[in-house]
Structure 1
Amino acid sequence: MPKDAYTLILEAIDGGLYKPGDRLVESELAERLGVSRTPVREALQRLETQAMLRRDGRSLIVASLDHNQLAELYAVRTELEGLAARLAARHATDEEIRVLRRMVEDDRGLLGGDPRVLSRANRRFHAQIHLASHNRFLVQQLDLVHRSMALMATTSFAAEGRDEVAMGEHDDIVRAIEARDGDAAYVALRSHISQAYETRLRVDAGELKLR
């Protein structure tokens, strides 16, 4: 089934093709996506309603997150991700857990590489935990949170040394899920998100350099 204009534009923002502050022009998008202007116009209106885009005069631009919005987003993400890990430890199938373990092992081969590739691998890992929670309502809320994460101009994986530390944190999370220890999984994933947030704050403050 072909993707609609809304999904295509959202994926372009999430993939970094359009970054915070970039202007989105209806005619250019229609040509790039190979669709008519009407579905593009409707998609842009929907994205504006969801605060993914904002008005700048007569133009629509990709929104960005200020310091307070970032704090609010991470506060929600920390709790929801922790809950997903707790539920995954209880409800994940053996097959799902083996997939998580394989992801950790495979992603180690990406260390030191392109931060954008690492970021995509990180999203796959977290999405697998969300699915392994076997709670559709939690997955829906996490999808909304991760959609807003696309409004950050850089990934924390671009900070020097963050990739190796993060992979170690992923290993801790999977170990807890493998042990069916919901409390430990909750703590491990909350700590992982907290460290990512702290890294982002240190980058914004100029304390850490980007690769």
Structure 2
Amino acid sequence: MQKDAYTLILELIEAGQFRPGDRLVESELADRLGVSRTPVREALQRLETQAMLSRDGRSLIVASLDHNQLAELYAVRAELEGLAARLAARHATEEEIRVLQGMVQEDRALQGGDPRALSRANKRFHRQIHLASHNRFLVQQLDLVHRSMALMANTSFAAEGRDTVALDEHAAIVTAIAEGDAEAAAAALKTHISKAYETRLRVDAGELKLR
């Protein structure tokens, strides 16, 4: 199925091709995507409505998150992700659990490598937990939250040592889900989000270096 202009532009933002503060020009995007300017214009308007883009004079730029917005985003993410893990512990199938276990093992091979590759693997892992919750409304809300995560200039996986710790946290989450321990799964995932937020704050404060 052919992707529309909105999906293509969103994917470029999520992939880091367009970063916070970058200006999006309608004509340039139309040429890049091989479509007319009308669907691009409509896509940009939709992304502005969703706060993925903001106005800078007459131009549209990729939005960025200030300190308070970052705190708000992580607070919502922790609660929703915790709920997803809790539900996954109750409803995940054996096949879904094996997929999660496989992801943890496969992602170990990425340690010390490209932070963006680790970030993509992390998104896949969390998405699999969302799906294992078997709650479509929760999945929809988490999709919106993760979309906003693309507005961060750097991934926390770029911080020195974060990849090893994060993957250990992933393993603890999957173990709790596999054991059907809903409360432990929720707690492990909320701790994981808290540590990621703390890492990001320490990077912003200059306490941690980026690889």
The answer, yes or no, to whether TM exceeds 0.5 is: yes
AA at the equivalent of 1:75: A
Q: CA deviation at 1:33?
A: 0.6
Counterpart of 1:157, as a letter, is: F
Return the alpha-carbon distance in structure 2 between the equivalents of residues 27 and 104 of structure 1: 42
Q: Deviations over 1:157-183 (max 9, x none)?
A: 000000000000000000000100000
What's the offset of the Cα at 1:13?
0.2
Q: Deviations over 1:38-86 (max 9, x none)?
A: 0000000000000000000110000000000000000000000000000
CA RMSD of aligned residues (A): 0.3
- Counterpart position of 1:131: 131
2:74 aligns to what?
74
Residue 45 of structure 1 is matched in structure 2 by 45
Separation (CA, whole Å) in 2 of partners of 1:51 and 1:178: 37
Unaligned runs of 5+ in 2: none
**1:107 deviation in Å?**
0.3
Q: CA deviation at 1:194?
A: 0.2
Cα drift, residue 152 of structure 1? 0.2
Instruction: Classify the secondary structure of the residue corresponding to 1:118.
Output: helix
The DSSP-based 3-state class of the residue aligned with 1:110 is coil
Q: Which amino acid aligns with 1:131?
A: L
Aligned residue for 1:81, secondary structure, equals helix
Deviation at 1:187, TM superposition (A): 0.3
AA at the equivalent of 2:188: A
SS at match of 2:109: helix
Q: Give the distance between the partners of 2:159 and 2:200, measured in 1 at CA.
A: 8
The match for 1:109 is 109
TM-score, L = length of structure 2: 1.00
Could you say which residue in structure 1 is the equivalent of 2:84? Answer: 84
Does residue 8 (structure 1) correspond to residue 27 (structure 2)? The answer is no
Which residue does the alignment assign to 1:146?
146
Query: What's the CA shift for 1:144?
Result: 0.3
Q: Percent identity?
A: 82
TM-score normalised over the length of structure 1: 1.00
**Which residue in the other structure is 1:100 paired with?**
100
Runs of 4+ aligned structure 1 residues displaced above 4 Å come to none
Distance 2:82 2:50 in 1: 25
1:168 is matched with: 168
